Chains A and B, each alone.
Chain A
Amino acid sequence: MSGVRVLVGTRKGAFILTSDGKREKWDVSGPHFGGWEIYHLKGSPVDPNRIYVSQSSGWFGQQIQRSNDGGQTWEAVGNKFVYEGVTGTHQWYDGTPHPWEFKRVWHLEPSLTDPDMVYAGAEDAALFQTKDGGQTWNELAGLRRHGSGPKWQPGAGGLCLHTILIDPSNHQRIYIAISSAGAFRTDDGGETWKPINQGLKSQYIPDPNAEVGHCVHRIAMHPSRPNTLFMQKHWDVMRSDNGGDLWHEVSGNLPTDFGFVVDVHAHEPETVYVVPIKSDSEHYPLDGKLRVFRSRSGGNEWEALTNGLPQSNCFVNVLRDAMAVDSLDSCGVYFGTTGGQVYASADAGDHWAPIVRDLPPVVAVEVQTLS
């Protein structure tokens, strides 16, 4: 019988929410790693019981945990993330050079084919890779050595590499995004990288059309159309149909196009979800109404999904890694809030209900569809 396992990272631990294919009744396990910040956790597509966790603390630094049994037991693996070669500098908030310093792992992206291989997106922005199940990590330094590296500047959350997308049809092609450097693509497995920010316009930087410097919040891709990308930028929802070479805006009729999350329906590559947030200085929903917006046309025409979501006095945020979809029929959609709720829809967004209401602030939500 099919089922789902929702992996939730919060400011104070990880939680695992499981249900059968109906997605009506849920078992809640956790907190795992109570008291630690869990920026992300994700399972291997080829071995769902293999789950990797980024666990961090301002006191004790970075840990990576690994489970081989679907989150029942955990093993701390390698936590040594060292930048390769001469470290160099990026720009600090005030524009002065600042040395690269490892702070934490924001995102873990397991390989599509090898449960022992995982990519890790770090702050300060860098891409690391393990080939031995997390025991050792090596930087794919071609990204940071891209000529624009010294110009990269942190966003409010830090200079974080938060998005990693592997092209299922060509594993040598990987997309990443950095706040606030922008989006980059490799076509050779991480050796060399190119910025893919043409078409983005960011009025908050000196050159709104600059090659780098855009605060990309999240990129999503449907596996059947790896050249089509959807982006939630600081402001603007964007779309590319040529692997990021050129972007165009698809914010359309959204009431505000600031936000963090974006995701794509598991079976409909033109059905896209965002959660608009009022503004960059007011990180909560417009008018106190928590609304997911869905486009069935790949952008521009958006409908508000409100059934089961609070429509008054709601002032939570939905952070960039806190939305995911399952691949059941019909598609389940999930997101977590800074108020500690994890909402689920088993019908592609038409109806919503909270799985849990009172977790610590939710940072990350991933879903595993189990057979």
Chain B
Amino acid sequence: MIHVIVPTHLRTLAKINGEVLLDVAAPVTQRAILDALEARYPTLRGTVREHEKQQRRPLLRFFACGLDVSHEPDDAPLPDAVASGAEPFWIVGAVAGG
């Protein structure tokens, strides 16, 4: 199972309690994880990726194994530790604004 860390505001919005664990078929990519996340929690559609272009929102970043993978291709395989569930996939809101 893929472990996803979701920002607090989105957890509240989607009424998420507890960990977010998703069953994602290989290859495990950003796109595959986000598709699974949105399928589980439809309220999150449009919040991490814009509706039309399906692009990451500018003030969000994705991290895996301590690395910023935000600018990696959507379909690039993520590290094995994320695919195995040993490490989480982080969706992080920028420290910006007030």
User: Is the CB of B46 closer than 8 A to any CB of chain A?
Assistant: yes
Q: Would you call A82 and B93 a contact (CB within 8 A)?
A: no
Note all chain B residues with C-beta closer than 8 A to A81.
Answer: 51
Inter-chain CA distance A81–B10, complex, in Å, is 19
Note all chain A residues with C-beta closer than 8 A to B40.
Answer: none
Q: Would you call B94 and A80 a contact (CB within 8 A)?
A: no
Q: Write out, one digit per residue, whether chain A residues 48-91 have a CB within 8 A of any chain B CB (1) or not (0).
A: 00000000011111110000000000001001111000000000
- B9's partner among A57, A76, A80, A82 (CB-CB below 8 A) is A57
Inter-chain CA distance A61–B49, complex, in Å, is 9
Note all chain A residues with C-beta closer than 8 A to B46.
Answer: 61-62, 79-80
Instruction: Using C-beta atoms within 8 Å of the partner chain, give the interface range for chain A.
Output: 10 to 19
Give how many A-B residue pairs fall within 8 Å (CB-CB): 43
User: Is the CB of B69 closer than 8 A to any CB of chain A?
Assistant: no
Note all chain A residues with C-beta closer than 8 A to B43.
Answer: 63, 76
Known contacts: A80-B46, A80-B51, A82-B51. The answer to whether A61 contacts B57 by CB under 8 A is: yes
User: Is the CB of B50 closer than 8 A to any CB of chain A?
Assistant: yes
User: Is the CB of A35 closer than 8 A to any CB of chain B?
Assistant: yes
Which residues from 225 to 247 on chain A have a C-beta closer than 8 Å to any C-beta of chain B?
none
Inter-chain CA distance A58–B59, complex, in Å, is 7
User: Which DSSP category, helix, strand, loop or mixed, fits chain B's interface?
Assistant: loop
User: Is the CB of A106 closer than 8 A to any CB of chain B?
Assistant: no
Closest to B43 in A: A76
A66 CB → nearest B CB, Å: 12
Note all chain B residues with C-beta closer than 8 A to A35.
Answer: 9
User: Is the CB of A36 closer than 8 A to any CB of chain B?
Assistant: yes
Closest to B14 in A: A76
Closest to B92 in A: A59
User: Is the CB of B60 closer than 8 A to any CB of chain A?
Assistant: yes
Closest to B60 in A: A59
Inter-chain CA distance A60–B97, complex, in Å, is 13
Note all chain A residues with C-beta closer than 8 A to B31.
Answer: none
Inter-chain CA distance A79–B13, complex, in Å, is 12
Q: Would you call A60 and B51 a contact (CB within 8 A)?
A: no
Closest to A57 in B: B9
Note all chain B residues with C-beta closer than 8 A to A57.
Answer: 9
B40 CB → nearest A CB, Å: 14
Note all chain B residues with C-beta closer than 8 A to A59.
Answer: 7, 9, 57, 59-60, 93-94, 97
Note all chain A residues with C-beta closer than 8 A to B10.
Answer: 60
Q: Would you call A58 and B51 a contact (CB within 8 A)?
A: no
Note all chain B residues with C-beta closer than 8 A to A60.
Answer: 7, 9-10, 13, 47-48, 57, 60, 93
User: Which 8 pairs from chain A and chain B are nearest by CB?
Assistant: A60-B47, A59-B59, A76-B43, A59-B93, A80-B51, A79-B46, A61-B46, A58-B97
Interface residue ranges, A against B (CB under 8 Å): 35-36, 57-63, 76, 79-82
